[in-house]
Amino acid sequence: MPRSSLAEPGTAVFQPALHTPAPPSRCILSLGMKRILTALVLIPLVLALVFLGPRWLFTLLTAGVAMLAAWEFLGLAEQYGAKPPRIAVLVAILGLFLGVFEWPDLTAALVGIYALALVVYCTFSSPVDRMMADATSSVFCLLYTGFTLMALPALREEPNGPSLVCFLLCAVWAGDSVALYVGKAWGRHKLAPAISPNKSWEGAVGSVVGSLLATGALLGLAAFLAQWDSAKLSFPDETWYWLGLAVVVNVVAQVGDLAESALKRSAGVKDSGSLLPGHGGVLDRVDALLLAAPVLWYAQLIHLRF
């Protein structure tokens, strides 16, 4: 008689335990903590490079940042159907930095040469119906991420150059940080809701104050170090000049931030990338410098002439 598959009364029935998948692990660090940790790692490294790094290394690493930002921008351009030649654009940006490193007096000519070279490249590599989109996004990327960040090594070669770059970075970083926390705590009036809904007038004013405080701290630190004849950090002009310049740099930096936000919004993305934890992509981190760096460079050139 075949054995029944049913258990007899009173006999325990054993069933295999069901495997419950473990819940996905979650990062215990908040977004704000990620921002702080990333800044604590990067800021000392950047400042050490500004004051201690050789010229070739500073130029090469700045070119690397520009190329990473360019890669992310070209990704945004592809959201609209353009397919710019990424490698050609990166080569053009690297060539621009290397050319200016060797021949700083030929900056304008080098920018024109590489811009025309990209147009010619797109003429023969892109389909006719896409050539305009590819060429314009390529040339714009060269100017937007290459030419603008080229101002950093140019500033560093000016009289008192490392102090100028330190002033620029601290004014931008402090303004950005203060704007974030002031906007979250007291932001009520939208600054540009169509471009960046989270930015407020309160945050913008706080950003200016943050840049002024950072500039005041730098001036105080420079005066303190001057007691030991330290020339590493020095600001020879009047205090009012640097405070006024801090306001200009801050306002331009905020415009640069809004410009990049408009580019991302037009492409339908929140962040340009995810390379920097808590900060998004490289383009997200340097967007303010893309306008602030050349403006400070021009301001210094005008100041030295007049």
What pLDDT, on a 0 to 100 scale, did the predictor assign at position 228? 78
Q: Which two tokens stand for residue 98?
A: 């290397």
Q: Which of 167, 145, 165 is nearest to 155 (CA)?
A: 165
Pair 179, 170: CB distance under 8 Å:
no
**pTM metric for this prediction:** 0.85
- Residue 46's contacts (CB-CB under 8 Å, 6 or more residues apart) are 169
* Beta-bridge partner residues of 301: none
> Which carries the bigger pLDDT value, residue 157 or residue 3?
157
pLDDT at 31 over 60: no
Please provide the size of the chain in residues.
306
What pLDDT, on a 0 to 100 scale, did the predictor assign at position 42? 80
In degrees and rounded to multiples of 5, residue 191 shows phi and psi of: -85, -50
Average pLDDT over residues 170-177: 94
Q: What is the pLDDT of residues 62-88, one digit of tens each?
A: 999 999 999 999 999 998 889 999 999
Name the 3-class secondary structure at 203: helix
Number of H helices and number of E strands within the chain?
A: 11, 2
* Burial class of residue 86, CB neighbours in 10 A (0-12, 13-18, 19+): middle
Pair 195, 265: CB distance under 8 Å:
yes
* Beta-bridge partner residues of 192: 196
Q: Considering Cα of 248, then 69, then 187, then 177, what sign does the dihedral take?
A: negative
> Which carries the bigger pLDDT value, residue 48 or residue 1?
48
pLDDT band at 279 (very low <50, low <70, confident <90, very high): low
What pLDDT, on a 0 to 100 scale, did the predictor assign at position 3? 46
Q: Give CA 117 to chain center in angstroms.
A: 26
Average pLDDT over residues 168-189: 93
Q: What is the pLDDT of residues 118-164, one digit of tens each?
A: 999 999 999 999 999 999 999 999 999 999 999 999 999 988 899 99
